[in-house]
Structure 1
Protein backbone atom coordinates (compact mmCIF):
# COMPACT_ATOMS: atom_id res chain seq x y z
CA UNK A 1 0.00 0.00 0.00
CA UNK A 2 1.16 3.51 -0.70
CA UNK A 3 1.51 6.17 1.97
CA UNK A 4 -1.60 7.96 0.69
CA UNK A 5 -3.62 4.74 0.84
CA UNK A 6 -2.41 4.07 4.39
CA UNK A 7 -3.42 7.59 5.46
CA UNK A 8 -6.85 7.13 3.88
CA UNK A 9 -7.18 3.81 5.70
CA UNK A 10 -6.17 5.43 8.99
CA UNK A 11 -8.80 8.15 8.50
CA UNK A 12 -11.43 5.53 7.76
CA UNK A 13 -10.48 3.56 10.89
CA UNK A 14 -10.61 6.71 13.05
CA UNK A 15 -14.04 7.54 11.63
CA UNK A 16 -15.28 4.01 12.30
CA UNK A 17 -13.98 4.11 15.88
CA UNK A 18 -15.67 7.47 16.52
CA UNK A 19 -18.94 6.20 15.05
CA UNK A 20 -18.77 3.06 17.21
CA UNK A 21 -18.10 5.10 20.37
CA UNK A 22 -21.03 7.42 19.63
CA UNK A 23 -23.33 4.46 19.05
CA UNK A 24 -22.20 2.71 22.26
CA UNK A 25 -22.71 5.88 24.31
CA UNK A 26 -26.21 6.30 22.87
CA UNK A 27 -27.03 2.70 23.75
CA UNK A 28 -25.72 3.18 27.29
CA UNK A 29 -27.72 6.41 27.66
CA UNK A 30 -30.86 4.57 26.55
CA UNK A 31 -30.25 1.75 29.05
CA UNK A 32 -29.78 4.28 31.84
CA UNK A 33 -32.94 6.12 30.81
CA UNK A 34 -34.94 2.87 30.90
CA UNK A 35 -33.56 1.95 34.32
CA UNK A 36 -34.21 5.48 35.66
CA UNK A 37 -37.80 5.30 34.36
CA UNK A 38 -38.30 1.91 36.06
CA UNK A 39 -37.13 3.49 39.33
CA UNK A 40 -39.46 6.47 38.94
CA UNK A 41 -36.96 9.08 37.77
CA UNK A 42 -35.94 10.70 34.55
CA UNK A 43 -32.44 10.30 33.24
CA UNK A 44 -31.92 14.06 33.47
CA UNK A 45 -32.91 14.11 37.15
CA UNK A 46 -30.30 11.50 37.99
CA UNK A 47 -27.62 12.93 35.74
CA UNK A 48 -28.00 16.44 37.18
CA UNK A 49 -27.57 15.41 40.81
CA UNK A 50 -24.11 15.44 42.24
CA UNK A 51 -23.11 13.76 45.42
CA UNK A 52 -21.36 15.57 48.24
CA UNK A 53 -17.88 16.64 47.33
CA UNK A 54 -15.14 16.85 49.86
CA UNK A 55 -13.42 20.17 49.69
CA UNK A 56 -9.74 20.30 50.32
CA UNK A 57 -8.62 23.26 52.35
CA UNK A 58 -6.56 25.69 50.35
CA UNK A 59 -2.97 26.01 51.35
CA UNK A 60 -2.15 29.39 52.81
CA UNK A 61 1.61 28.91 52.55
CA UNK A 62 3.10 29.64 49.17
CA UNK A 63 6.84 29.22 48.92
CA UNK A 64 8.55 31.14 46.13
CA UNK A 65 11.76 30.22 44.39
CA UNK A 66 14.53 32.58 45.59
CA UNK A 67 15.78 33.47 42.10
CA UNK A 68 12.52 33.14 40.14
CA UNK A 69 9.42 34.22 42.09
CA UNK A 70 7.13 32.84 39.38
CA UNK A 71 8.07 29.31 40.49
CA UNK A 72 6.11 28.41 43.61
CA UNK A 73 5.34 25.44 45.84
CA UNK A 74 2.21 25.30 48.03
CA UNK A 75 3.72 22.95 50.65
CA UNK A 76 1.71 20.01 49.30
CA UNK A 77 3.18 16.90 47.77
CA UNK A 78 6.88 16.19 47.36
CA UNK A 79 9.28 19.00 48.10
CA UNK A 80 10.82 20.34 44.91
CA UNK A 81 14.60 20.19 44.54
CA UNK A 82 14.97 23.97 44.62
CA UNK A 83 13.17 24.04 48.00
CA UNK A 84 15.27 21.33 49.64
CA UNK A 85 18.42 22.99 48.31
CA UNK A 86 17.48 26.15 50.21
CA UNK A 87 16.99 24.59 53.64
CA UNK A 88 19.37 25.54 56.42
CA UNK A 89 21.04 23.07 58.77
CA UNK A 90 17.93 22.92 61.00
CA UNK A 91 15.71 21.98 58.04
CA UNK A 92 13.97 25.36 58.01
CA UNK A 93 13.59 27.27 54.76
CA UNK A 94 15.93 30.16 54.14
CA UNK A 95 13.20 31.73 52.02
CA UNK A 96 10.11 33.48 53.28
CA UNK A 97 6.67 32.01 52.47
CA UNK A 98 4.30 34.00 50.34
Structure 2
Protein backbone atom coordinates (compact mmCIF):
# COMPACT_ATOMS: atom_id res chain seq x y z
CA UNK A 1 0.00 0.00 0.00
CA UNK A 2 1.30 3.41 -0.91
CA UNK A 3 2.27 5.76 1.88
CA UNK A 4 0.60 9.11 1.30
CA UNK A 5 1.59 12.17 3.27
CA UNK A 6 -1.79 13.76 3.85
CA UNK A 7 -0.21 17.02 5.04
CA UNK A 8 1.22 17.63 1.56
CA UNK A 9 -2.20 17.44 -0.16
CA UNK A 10 -4.48 20.39 -0.88
CA UNK A 11 -8.07 20.52 0.35
CA UNK A 12 -9.46 19.55 -3.07
CA UNK A 13 -7.05 16.61 -3.28
CA UNK A 14 -8.06 15.47 0.22
CA UNK A 15 -11.77 15.68 -0.66
CA UNK A 16 -11.14 13.77 -3.89
CA UNK A 17 -9.24 11.12 -1.95
CA UNK A 18 -12.07 10.94 0.57
CA UNK A 19 -14.63 10.34 -2.22
CA UNK A 20 -12.41 7.67 -3.78
CA UNK A 21 -12.01 5.89 -0.45
CA UNK A 22 -15.76 5.99 0.26
CA UNK A 23 -16.47 4.58 -3.19
CA UNK A 24 -13.85 1.83 -2.75
CA UNK A 25 -15.31 0.88 0.63
CA UNK A 26 -18.85 0.68 -0.79
CA UNK A 27 -17.71 -1.44 -3.74
CA UNK A 28 -15.73 -3.75 -1.44
CA UNK A 29 -18.73 -4.17 0.86
CA UNK A 30 -21.06 -4.91 -2.06
CA UNK A 31 -18.62 -7.44 -3.48
CA UNK A 32 -18.30 -9.22 -0.12
CA UNK A 33 -22.09 -9.32 0.32
CA UNK A 34 -22.51 -10.83 -3.14
CA UNK A 35 -19.85 -13.45 -2.41
CA UNK A 36 -21.47 -14.30 0.93
CA UNK A 37 -24.92 -14.58 -0.65
CA UNK A 38 -23.59 -16.89 -3.37
CA UNK A 39 -21.89 -19.09 -0.78
CA UNK A 40 -25.05 -19.29 1.33
CA UNK A 41 -27.21 -20.08 -1.70
CA UNK A 42 -24.78 -22.83 -2.77
CA UNK A 43 -24.78 -24.37 0.71
CA UNK A 44 -28.58 -24.22 0.93
CA UNK A 45 -28.82 -25.86 -2.49
CA UNK A 46 -26.50 -28.67 -1.32
CA UNK A 47 -28.93 -29.30 1.51
CA UNK A 48 -31.91 -29.30 -0.88
CA UNK A 49 -33.38 -25.93 -0.02
CA UNK A 50 -33.52 -22.47 -1.46
CA UNK A 51 -32.13 -19.64 0.61
CA UNK A 52 -35.55 -17.98 0.61
CA UNK A 53 -37.07 -21.10 2.18
CA UNK A 54 -34.50 -21.12 4.97
CA UNK A 55 -34.63 -17.43 5.76
CA UNK A 56 -38.38 -17.04 5.39
CA UNK A 57 -37.84 -14.23 2.90
CA UNK A 58 -40.98 -13.29 1.06
CA UNK A 59 -41.01 -12.72 -2.64
CA UNK A 60 -41.25 -9.08 -3.66
CA UNK A 61 -44.67 -7.89 -4.62
CA UNK A 62 -45.30 -6.48 -8.05
CA UNK A 63 -46.61 -2.95 -8.17
CA UNK A 64 -50.36 -2.72 -8.08
CA UNK A 65 -50.44 -0.70 -11.28
CA UNK A 66 -53.05 1.85 -12.14
CA UNK A 67 -56.18 1.75 -10.06
CA UNK A 68 -59.52 0.90 -11.56
CA UNK A 69 -62.38 3.34 -11.78
CA UNK A 70 -64.08 3.98 -8.46
CA UNK A 71 -66.27 6.97 -9.38
CA UNK A 72 -68.10 7.85 -12.60
CA UNK A 73 -69.09 11.31 -13.84
CA UNK A 74 -72.85 11.84 -13.29
CA UNK A 75 -73.60 13.10 -16.84
CA UNK A 76 -70.76 11.51 -18.86
CA UNK A 77 -70.19 7.85 -17.95
CA UNK A 78 -66.97 7.76 -20.00
CA UNK A 79 -65.25 10.03 -17.45
CA UNK A 80 -64.08 8.20 -14.34
CA UNK A 81 -61.80 8.67 -11.34
CA UNK A 82 -59.92 5.99 -9.40
CA UNK A 83 -60.29 7.73 -6.05
CA UNK A 84 -56.52 8.23 -5.88
CA UNK A 85 -54.65 11.48 -6.16
CA UNK A 86 -56.15 14.91 -6.59
CA UNK A 87 -59.94 15.08 -6.89
CA UNK A 88 -61.09 16.05 -10.38
CA UNK A 89 -63.11 19.21 -10.84
CA UNK A 90 -66.29 17.38 -11.82
CA UNK A 91 -66.15 15.32 -8.62
CA UNK A 92 -65.64 18.37 -6.41
CA UNK A 93 -68.42 20.27 -8.21
CA UNK A 94 -70.83 17.35 -7.79
CA UNK A 95 -70.05 17.11 -4.05
CA UNK A 96 -70.59 20.86 -3.64
CA UNK A 97 -73.90 20.54 -5.52
CA UNK A 98 -75.06 18.09 -2.89
CA UNK A 99 -74.35 14.72 -4.52
CA UNK A 100 -73.07 11.97 -2.28
CA UNK A 101 -69.84 10.22 -3.36
CA UNK A 102 -71.68 6.91 -3.08
CA UNK A 103 -74.12 8.00 -5.77
CA UNK A 104 -71.21 8.32 -8.24
CA UNK A 105 -69.54 5.05 -7.25
CA UNK A 106 -69.00 2.53 -10.00
Q: TM-score, normalised by structure 1?
A: 0.48
Q: TM-score, normalised by structure 2?
A: 0.45
Q: Identify the structure with the greater helix proportion.
A: 2
**Greater Rg, structure 1 or structure 2?**
2
